[in-house]
Each structure stands twice: as structure tokens, then as C-alpha cells.
A and B are shown apart, each in its own frame.
Chain A
Amino acid sequence: MAEKIKKMKKKKGVEQLKSRYGRLFVLPWEIGLVLFFIVPLVTSIIYSFSNVILGNGGVTTEWVGLRWYDFIINSDPKYLDQVKDAVANFLVQLPIIVALSLILAIILNQKFAGRMMARAIFFLPVIIATGVILELLTSEYIDVSLVTSSAESSGAGNYGSSMIDFDAILGNLGLPEDITKIIGDYIGSIFNLLWNCGIQIVLFIAGLQTIPDQLYEVSKVEGASKWEEFWYITIPMLGNSILLVMVYTMIDIFTQKTGVMKSAFELMDEKLVYDRSSAMLWFYFIIVAAIMSLVLAIYHRFCLKKWN
């Protein structure tokens, strides 16, 4: 009995020691989190409930309650439409980006001649699309043939659809106009969304590499088809990678410089209005957070749990 208690005590001591080490590892980040994230974040929430006046001596705030929220919802003609557009955009883009980058990652992960070349090319969007360069390329001063008129629909390059005229091809099929338009939008957006796939492809390739070859060998012996291999080995084993890619993609889509984000930043950067723009961003982010947690909860409940 006494021995048992001693053992338990010892175990508890080890666990305490372990948790202490864990806190030690996390400590620098905790300090930074408070200093450079939580404090500024709370300040920005306060801004959204106040009048912000920029003076020489710094920033002064004056509490006005929900006035700015009331203003953007009831008086701003564009705001709610922009939020709706962002949500609709998200529902279209998320599945396309995840599926497209998964397919491309699987292809690029196979062994074939010239795969190094192909991988190098597919990484280009990461270098170009994250910088000013894409902004310069798609700016109105540079060659117009690079950009089509639908420049509003996506943050990234839009020139893809100008190279091949899909609308004309679809128009000749004689389908109802609504359907043609939806299909056309999807195809057009695939071209644009290729630009947002670079990082996801790399993440998926890294994930694919961690699947042990033995699993595929066993399934081959068992006589599984490639299709079954894909659904019963590749996808479940990629569970965590898909989660990572989904989180990254959702954030990427919601923080694209279009719609709400664009108008809020214009208010901040050009007119130095911080109170109303803070309210705009906060309302938007509450909605975004709700949608994201819903998607992640569904994924967790119906996919991850089933696969484990």
C-alpha cells in the first residue's frame, strides 16, 4: 500500500515536472502573445466602440458604444452585400482549392521524368503571388491583355480566362444560360485559384510523403484498386494535412484584399479612420469565425473521427 502511494507520488512528480518543462518551452511565446497580440487586439476592439482621434500626442478615444456597428449595418449601403459576397465566394473557393491542390500534389508526388521541373514550376505562385509583384502585374498600368474585366471576383491574377474563351465554347453547347454561367464561373475560377494553391500543394506533398509504403504494398496484395487505395489509404492518412490545408485556405480566402477587407483598409490607410474600419473588420470576423468553426466541426465530426 505504502509502496503504491509512493509510486503514485513519484508519477505525479514526473508529470508536474513535465508540465513545468512544457510551460518553459511555451513561455517566450506567451509573453509575445500578450505584448504583441492580445493587447493590440483588445485595443482595436475598444476602437470599434469609440471615436478615435489621431493627434500629435498619440491616440485619444471616446466611448460611443454600438454606434459604428449600427452605422455599418443600417446605414452603409455596401457593407452587408460585401459580407454576403465574401461568404458565397468562400463556399465556392474552399472545395475547389483543396481538391485541386490535392490532385496536383498526388500527381507531383508520383515518380515520372521531369518531376523536379514540374515541382519547381508549381512553386512559382508562392514566390510571385505573395508579393507586390502580382499587384504590379495586375495593376491597371501594366499591359491590359494580362487582366480580364472580371478583376473584382478574385484577389489573385485573373488573366487565365482571357487566354482561352470558355464562355464561347459553353455558349455553343446550347445549355440554359444560368447553367452555362455557373459552369463558366467554376472553370474560370479554377484558373484563378491555381494561384492560391502553391502552398497547399507543398503541404500536401509533405503529408503524402509520411504515408508508409507498406500500406500500399499490403493493399496491392489484397487486390485493392487504385480508386480504393485513394479513398481508404491516402485520404484517411492525410487527415491532419487536410485539416492544416483547410485552415490555411480558409484564412487565405477570408483575408484576400477584396470586399470588406479592401474597403476597411482603404479607410485606414488613406483616410486614417480607425474606429469605423475596426467595427467593419470585427463584425466581419465574427461571421468568419462562426463559419470556420462550423466547417471545422463538421470535418472533425464526420471525417477525422471516422478515419481514426
Chain B
Amino acid sequence: MKITKNKLTSRAAKEAAFKFVTGIIRWAFLLSISYILLYPMIYMISSAFRDAQDFVDPTVVWVPKNFSVNNFVIAFKALDYLKTFWNTFRMEIISAFIEIVMCSITAYGLARFDFKEKKLLMGMLIVTILVPTQMIMLPLMVNMHYLDIFGILGFIGEKIGTELRPNLLNTAWAFYVPSIFAVGLKAGLFTYMYVQFFKGLPKELEEAASIDGAGPVKTFLTIVVPSSGTIFLTVTIFSIIWHWNDVYLSGLFLSRDYPLSVQLSRIFTILNSGIDGVKYGSYSRSTVGIVMAACLLVILPMLIMYCILQKQFIKSIDRVGIVG
């Protein structure tokens, strides 16, 4: 009797010790990696709040001596923040949401129904993920300049002598139209993620709904969408962030009214050409502070969004019990 009790306590002690040690290892591991990941963030914050003379002062390592928000004021003006922010929202964020919806519809068709050309379409989906936009850049731009559906508009226009093909360049439609057809920015990847998720959902619920007389559309809206919170949230976060950060497509389709990311990529040019009559020189040490402040201003909305959605994200992940 006594022996078993001893055994039990020793085992409990062993387990507690094991937990303690793994806890420490985990913390050390995570802390060291967090340092690497946080380094550029800390660097950005540290230099953004520095006064110009702190950059030449060797005693200033991380904490600025002359704390100033001057960099932010200049960066705010250089980015033309309010206007570019509105541009980003108007073009990128709205098309991100259109894409979230359209990709899920496409994915449901690919995941749950069988038809002859499905295998071919799945193959094409992988190809769309694989091919970077740069490869089809020039044809795509021509396409956006003279938007046409299989040459119909061009043909009619030629017959009646007017240009019917709309020019989408420099308009928000250059972003909306591909999103409506679920082929926008990274749309292939989103569709693929949805397909993988929908395939994992238990079929029984949908079958029960269809026995009760619900059509596929109704089943999709009332059964599939409500039980796919996780994947919708994941895709939403990715889609918004990628659209927000996209430089390439918006740089291609727009020659004015830039969104934030493109404006940020032009920051050296802008600083060099001068704001309010003052030129900041492209590569001097103190412009680093302004550039870093601009970076912070650009990612700030994303950080806020992530902090808000993060709680929802974990909650919704933890709630999904039926999948598996």
C-alpha cells in the first residue's frame, strides 16, 4: 500500500518536472524566435521616433534621446495619407471582399460536384497559382485597356465605327472585374484553400439538407457557409493583407491615384522632389527616420485589423468541432 502511494507521488513529481522543463524550453525557443521576428519592428519604431541629430549620435542605440514625432508629420504629408488611404480602401479592400465571396462559390462547385471537366479545371487552378502575374503582365495590360469578351464588343464596335471596349486602366474596375470572376490577386490560392476545407466538411449535413428539399444554392448558404467560419476568416485576413500590400498589380494598372503601398514604394522619389518646398535628399541618414515612419503608417491599419480579428480567429478555430 505504502509503496504504490510512493510510486504515484514520484510519478506525479516526474510529470510536473517534465512539464516545467518543456515549459522553459518552449519559452526560450519562442523568445529567441520572437526576437528575430520583432527586430525590424523595433528598428522601425526606434528610428521613426528619432530626431535628425540622433542618427549621427553614436550613443543612441535603441532609445532616442530627442524624442520627436516630426518624422511622422513629414511621412504623413509625403504619403498624402488620407487620400491614398481612401484609394486603397476604394480599390483594394473592396475587391478583396468580392474575391473572398467569389472564390468560395467557385471552390464549392469544385469540391462537392462531379462533372466531366472537373479534373482539368483543378489542374488549371494549380496552374493559376503557379504562374506569377509578371509572366502575363503585358497581355493583361492590353486586356485591361481594351476589355472584351471573346472579341464580341470589338467586332460590333468595328461594324458601327465606335470603340465599345471599355478602358479599365486607372479605374477601380481594373481591380473589381478580375475579383468578380474569381481570378484576382492570389485568387487561385484562396480557391484552393476553400476546396481543401470544403472537402473536409462532413457530407451528412448537406445530404440531410438536400433530402429536406433544399437546393444546392440554399444548402451552400445555410449549411456550408455557417460551418466554414475558420476558412472564411483565414482567407479574409490573407486577402485583405495581400491586397493592402500589393505593389505590382496596382503599379501596373494605375498611373495616378496610387494606393498606400505604391506610394510607399515611391517614397524616395517623393522625398527627393520635396514636400512644402523642402527637399529631404534620397539617401541621407535622417531620411531613414521618415521612411520608417512611413512604413509604420502604412502597416498600422493591418496591425490593428489583425489585433481585432486575432481574437475572433482563435475563437472560431477553437469552436470548429465538427470537422475531421
Q: What is the interface of chain A, defined by CB distance below 8 A to chain B?
A: 15, 18-19, 21-26, 28-41, 43-44, 47, 52, 58-59, 104, 107, 110, 112, 116, 118-128, 130-137, 141-143, 146, 157, 159-160, 163, 191, 194-195, 199, 202-203, 205-206, 209-212, 237, 240-241, 243-244, 247-248, 251, 254-255, 261, 264-265, 268, 274, 278, 281-282, 285, 288-289, 292
For the complex formed, measure the closest distance between the CB of B189 and the CB atoms of chain A, giving whole angstroms.
7
For the complex formed, measure the closest distance between the CB of B118 and the CB atoms of chain A, giving whole angstroms.
7
As a 0/1 sequence over residues 191 to 206 of chain B, the CB contacts with chain A under 8 angstroms (1 = contact) are 1110010011000000
Q: Is B310 an interface residue (CB 8 A)?
A: yes
Check if A121 sits within 8 Å of B37, measured CB to CB: yes
For the complex formed, measure the closest distance between the CB of A87 and the CB atoms of chain B, giving whole angstroms.
16
In the complex, residue of chain A having the shortest beta-carbon distance to the beta carbon of B47: A143
Beyond A32-B178, A205-B317, whether A22 also contacts B118 by CB under 8 A is: yes
Q: Cβ of A261: which chain B residues have Cβ within 8 Å of it?
A: 132, 134
In the complex, residue of chain A having the shortest beta-carbon distance to the beta carbon of B320: A209
Q: Cβ of A26: which chain B residues have Cβ within 8 Å of it?
A: 106, 109-110, 121
As a 0/1 sequence over residues 32 to 51 of chain B, the CB contacts with chain A under 8 angstroms (1 = contact) are 01101111110110010000
**Contact among A28, A39, A43, A191 for B181, CB-based, below 8 A:** A28
Check if B106 sits within 8 Å of A25, measured CB to CB: yes
Check if B261 sits within 8 Å of A146, measured CB to CB: no
Check if B178 sits within 8 Å of A36, measured CB to CB: yes
Q: A118-B34, A243-B196 are in contact. List 20 more A-B contacts (CB 8 A).
A: A19-B114, A25-B108, A29-B181, A30-B121, A33-B124, A35-B181, A37-B128, A39-B139, A107-B29, A116-B314, A124-B41, A127-B302, A132-B265, A133-B295, A137-B40, A191-B36, A209-B230, A210-B200, A281-B134, A285-B135
Q: Cβ of A141: which chain B residues have Cβ within 8 Å of it?
A: 268, 282-283, 287-288
For the complex formed, measure the closest distance between the CB of A94 and the CB atoms of chain B, giving whole angstroms.
15
Q: Cβ of A274: which chain B residues have Cβ within 8 Å of it?
A: 138
Q: Cβ of B323: which chain A residues have Cβ within 8 Å of it?
A: 210
**Contact among A36, A107, A124 for B26, CB-based, below 8 A:** A107
Check if A247 sits within 8 Å of B134, measured CB to CB: no
Total of A-B residue pairs, C-beta within 8 Å: 250
**Contact among A33, A136, A210 for B324, CB-based, below 8 A:** A210
Taking each of A124, A240, A268, which has the highest tally of chain B beta carbons within 10 Å of its own beta carbon?
A124
**Contact among A47, A110, A125, A255 for B132, CB-based, below 8 A:** A255
In the complex, residue of chain B having the shortest beta-carbon distance to the beta carbon of A210: B323
Beyond A33-B124, A116-B310, A209-B317, whether A163 also contacts B241 by CB under 8 A is: no
Beyond A44-B136, A128-B299, A141-B268, whether A136 also contacts B114 by CB under 8 A is: no
Check if B140 sits within 8 Å of A209, measured CB to CB: no
For the complex formed, measure the closest distance between the CB of A139 and the CB atoms of chain B, giving whole angstroms.
9
For the complex formed, measure the closest distance between the CB of A41 and the CB atoms of chain B, giving whole angstroms.
6
> How far apart sit A36 and B113, CA to CA, in the bound complex (Å)?
24
Tell me what chain B mostly uses at the interface: helix, strand, loop, or mixed. helix
Check if A28 sits within 8 Å of B130, measured CB to CB: no
Beyond A119-B314, A130-B245, whether A40 also contacts B306 by CB under 8 A is: no
In the complex, residue of chain A having the shortest beta-carbon distance to the beta carbon of B137: A268
**Contact among B38, B108, B265 for A121, CB-based, below 8 A:** B38
**Contact among A36, A118, A132, A281 for B264, CB-based, below 8 A:** A132
As a 0/1 sequence over residues 227 to 255 of chain B, the CB contacts with chain A under 8 angstroms (1 = contact) are 00011001000100110110100000000
> How far apart sit A32 and B99, CA to CA, in the bound complex (Å)?
12
For the complex formed, measure the closest distance between the CB of B145 and the CB atoms of chain A, giving whole angstroms.
9
Q: Cβ of A116: which chain B residues have Cβ within 8 Å of it?
A: 310-311, 314
Q: Is B276 an interface residue (CB 8 A)?
A: no
Check if A142 sits within 8 Å of B318, measured CB to CB: no
Check if A31 sits within 8 Å of B318, measured CB to CB: no
Beyond A127-B302, A130-B242, A132-B247, whether A21 also contacts B268 by CB under 8 A is: no
Q: Is B216 an interface residue (CB 8 A)?
A: yes
Check if B192 sits within 8 Å of A247, measured CB to CB: yes
Q: Cβ of B180: which chain A residues have Cβ within 8 Å of it?
A: 28, 32
Q: Is B10 an interface residue (CB 8 A)?
A: no
Q: Is B56 an interface residue (CB 8 A)?
A: no
Check if B115 sits within 8 Å of A58, measured CB to CB: no
Beyond A121-B38, A205-B317, A209-B317, whether A142 also contacts B288 by CB under 8 A is: yes
Q: Is B78 an interface residue (CB 8 A)?
A: no
Q: Is B94 an interface residue (CB 8 A)?
A: no
Q: Is B143 an interface residue (CB 8 A)?
A: yes
Check if B299 sits within 8 Å of A127, measured CB to CB: yes
Check if A28 sits within 8 Å of B106, measured CB to CB: yes
In the complex, residue of chain A having the shortest beta-carbon distance to the beta carbon of B102: A28
Beyond A29-B182, A141-B268, whether A251 also contacts B241 by CB under 8 A is: no
Q: Cβ of A199: which chain B residues have Cβ within 8 Å of it?
A: 238
In the complex, residue of chain B having the shortest beta-carbon distance to the beta carbon of A143: B288
For the complex formed, measure the closest distance between the CB of B114 and the CB atoms of chain A, giving whole angstroms.
6
For the complex formed, measure the closest distance between the CB of A103 and the CB atoms of chain B, giving whole angstroms.
9
For the complex formed, measure the closest distance between the CB of A156 and the CB atoms of chain B, giving whole angstroms.
11
Check if A127 sits within 8 Å of B143, measured CB to CB: no
> How far apart sit A26 and B130, CA to CA, in the bound complex (Å)?
20
Q: Is B13 an interface residue (CB 8 A)?
A: no
